[in-house]
Amino acid sequence: GAVVSQHPSRVICKSGTSVKIECRSLDFQATTMFWYRQFPKKSLMLMATSNEGSKATYEQGVEKDKFLINHASLTLSTLTVTSAHPEDSSFYICSARVTSGSSEQFFGPGTRLTVL
């Protein structure tokens, strides 16, 4: 159990376009989902906490108008990278926490974004 999916797994886009990444909890409900970013050979850095039915909470230094997060249901959160630029190229990973019970998080397989 506790499977999280992400779509797409890989995306290449032109500079200035917007890209939407979906994160789904497949076999459980998730009130809270999280979005992370990982640079090559580096650790994961939390970008924002996504709460179902309310506004996301962004970490310091993360532009909320650049990285739009929507958590419309208990199984889906989306991250939209707006007006993407080459410096936005990265590996984006989402996670979800089961609504009730422990605080253990389960991670999606990640989305590799390349902006040309």
Partner 1 sequence: GIQVEQSPPDLILQEGANSTLRCNFSDSVNNLQWFHQNPWGQLINLFYIPSGTKQNGRLSATTVATERYSLLYISSSQTTDSGVYFCAVGEGGGNKLTFGTGTQLKVEL
Which spans of this chain sit near partner 1 (rule: CB under 8 A)? 2, 32, 34, 36, 38, 43-46, 49, 57, 91, 93, 95, 97, 102-107, 109-110, 112
Give the shortest CB-104-to-partner 1 separation in angstroms: 4
Given the complex with partner 1, which of 46 and 76 has the nearer CB atom? 46
Contact 68, 82 (CB under 8 A): yes
Give the shortest CB-111-to-partner 1 separation in angstroms: 9
Two tokens at 6? 């992400």
